Structure 1
Amino acid sequence: MISYKQASTLEELQQILVLQQQNLPQNLSSEERSSEGFVTVEHTLEVLKTMSDVCGHIIAVEDNQVVGYALCMHPKFADEIEVLRPMFKEIDSAIDDNVNYMVMGQICVAKSHRGKGVFRNLYQTMKEKLPEGFDTIITEVDGKNKRSLAAHAAIGFKTLTIYHSGEKEWHIISLQ
C-alpha cells in the first residue's frame, strides 16, 4: 500500500535523489523521454535538504521505498538553482503581487508506479501540506515533455505563461 507524507529523514531524501537520477534525460533513451517523460534539474543532497527544511517535500512510499516525489520550493530559493531563475522572474511577472505561491520544483513517479494515481495523490498531499497563507502551487514544464504537460492539465493545472529560455520552451502552470 502506498502512503503519502512529507519527507522527514535523510534516507528519504537520498531515495528521492536515486529516483531523480533514473529519470534525468541523459539516463533515458529518446523514446523513453518522449513516452515516459523526464526530470530536468539535478539536485544535490544539500540543496534538497535545505529546501525540505523550509517546506517538507512530498513523497509516496511503499515498503519503505520512495516511489514518487513532489519537491516543495519556497520562493525564497529563487536564486539557489541557476536553471530556475528565469522561471521565478516569469512567475513574478505573470501573477498578482498578493498571490502567495509554493513552487513544485519537480515531480517524479517510479516507472513501476505510473498510471496508479500516484501523480494526482502527490499533488493532493502537497495542497494539504502547504504552509498557512499559500494560495496556489505553481510549476513549470519543458514544452517537449508532453506526458507531463498532459498529466498536469488532467488534474487541473492552467497555463499562466509560456516563455523561452535558451533553446527550451517552458510552460508555467498553476493549480488553484
Structure 2
Amino acid sequence: MTTTVRRPDATDRPAILALMRRMRGTDLSAEERAREGFIQGRMDDEMLAGMQAGTGVFVAEVDGDLTGFAVTFTPDMAVSGPPQRLIETLDEQPQQSRIRRFLYGPAGVDPRFRGHGILRALLGAIGREFVGRFDQGVLFVEEANEKSLAVHRHYGMHTIGDFTFRDRSYVVMSFDPAAAAELA
C-alpha cells in the first residue's frame, strides 16, 4: 500500500466533496458519531475552490484512490459560523495576537483506510509546506466529536481555548507546523 499526498486540482473536487458528505455521519446516532467521528458544516464546489486557491487543500491517495483530505485556510477567510467564532476567540487572548497562523479543517480519512497513516501523511505534508510561513496551525473540534479530539491529541495538538456557537461547545486546538512536518 503506497500513500501519496498532493494538492488536488478542479477534477478532484467531486471526490473530496463526496467523501466529506459520507463522513458527516448524519445516519449515525449521537453515540456512534462521537465514537466514529464526523465532519460538520457544509462545503460546496465554490467554497472548496476558494480554499484551494488560498493556503490550500491536500489529498491523500492510496494506489490512486482518494483516501483522505485536509483543508487549510487563512483567518481572513473565516467570515461566518464557527470559523469566525474561532478567530474571535483567538483575538480575545493577548498572547495569540501576533502569531502567524493558518486554520486547519475539515480533515477526514475514508473509514476503510483509518489506521494506515493517512492523516499522519497529510499533517506531515501540511507541516513541511507551512514551516517558516506560519507559526501555528489552529483548528476547532466540537466537544461531541470524541474521535476527532482523540486523534488530534494523539498527533500532538493541544487545547488553547474553547467557545460556544449555537448551543454547541467547541475545543480550540493548535499545533506547530515544524512538529507536524516530522510526522511523515
**TM score, norm. by length of structure 2:** 0.87
**Runs of 5+ unmatched residues, structure 2:** 177-184
| 1:54, distance to aligned residue in structure 2 (A) | 1.4
**What letter matches 2:26 in structure 1?**
Q
User: How many angstroms does 1:131 deviate by?
Assistant: 7.3
* 8 Å Cα contact 2:163-2:170 kept in structure 1: yes
What is the letter of the counterpart of residue 4 of structure 1?
Answer: V
Deviations for 1:1-23, whole angstroms, at most 9, x for unmatched residues? 1101222x112122110100001
The equivalent residue for 1:91 is: 90
Deviation at 1:31, TM superposition (A): 4.7
Q: Which moved more, 1:95-104 or 1:125-134?
A: 125-134
1:129/1:88 CA distance change after superposition, 3 Å: same
Q: State the match for 2:180 in structure 1.
A: none
Give the drift of 1:46: 0.4
1:28-107 maps to which residues of 2 (within 5 A)? 28-79=28-79, 81-94=80-93, 95-107=95-107
SS at match of 1:99: coil
Contact 1:55 1:131 in 2 (8 A): no
The Cα of 1:132 is off from its aligned counterpart by: 4.8
Retained in 2: the 8 A contact 1:58–1:69? yes
- Corresponding residue number in structure 1 for 2:164: 164
Report Cα offsets for 1:110-155 as digits up to 9, x if no partner.
0111011111221111111227521111000000111110111111
Partner of 2:5 in structure 1? 4
Distance 1:175 1:107 in 2: 15
Structure-to-structure mapping, 1:87-166, within 5 angstroms: 87-94=86-93, 95-130=95-130, 132-166=132-166
* Partner Cα distance (2:132, 2:51) in 1: 17
Structure 1: 4+ residue segments shifted above 6 A: none
Shift of the 143–48 alpha-carbon distance from structure 1 to 2, 3 Å rule, reads: same
* Residue 56 of structure 1, CA deviation: 2.2
User: What is the total number of aligned residue pairs between the two structures?
Assistant: 174
Identity of aligned residues (%): 23
Tell whether the 8 Å contact from 1:59 to 1:67 is kept in structure 2 after alignment: yes
Is the 1:21–1:27 Cα contact (8 Å) retained in structure 2?
no
- Give 1:156 deviation, angstroms: 0.7
The 2-side partners of 1:118 and 1:141 are apart by 19
Preserved contact between residue 58 and residue 69 of structure 2 (Cα < 8 Å): yes
Q: Are the equivalent residues in 1 in contact too, given 2:81–2:165 (CA < 8 A)?
A: no
Question: Residue type matched to 1:113 in 2?
Answer: F
- By how many angstroms is 1:28 displaced? 3.5
